[in-house]
Amino acid sequence: MKIMVIQGPNLNMLGLREQNIYGPMKLEDIHEQMEGFAKQANIEIEFFQSNLEGEIVDKIQECLGVCDGIILNAAAYTHTSIAIADAIRAVQIPTVEVHISNIHAREEYRHKSLIAPHCAGQITGFGPFSYHLAMVAMSQILTEIQAMKQAENQAGEQN
């Protein structure tokens, strides 16, 4: 199993920006923790961060046929990007939307996610631990998909 973790704009500034909202942890530290979980779960994981909407769309498209799941923190593009929402819908790869802060407890313009309707689920508001929860969720989703495929194959062999 392979998971692509895609990080949106300004997440490269974690640990420096608005620590009262995002905490002191740097993006590299979050990725290191995710790598630890992935290693224990025998999951291949790759990371990508961009401040540019088009690069995020390109990365989602590049996952087609290569990745089994996507964990996406689109950051501010969550609330504005039809292009990212369309890319998620186009590739049809299970995607978990993740946010460090609780977007529903912040400014009203952050309450609406344009990408959520195209994702398997949304994890928001648990600080950097949101990424761990996203890994657990994605691992479960991929395990269930794998089990369904095996059951279908066995049913097909019996017919």
Catalytic residues: 22, 99
Helix (H, G, I), strand (E, B) or coil at 72: strand
DSSP 73-97: E-GGGGGT-HHHHHHHHHHT--EEE
Q: Are strands 44-49 and 95-99 parallel, antiparallel or unpaired?
A: unpaired
Look up residue 12 and give its DSSP letter: G
The full length of the chain comes to 159
Nearest to 77 by CA among 93, 68, 61, 88: 88
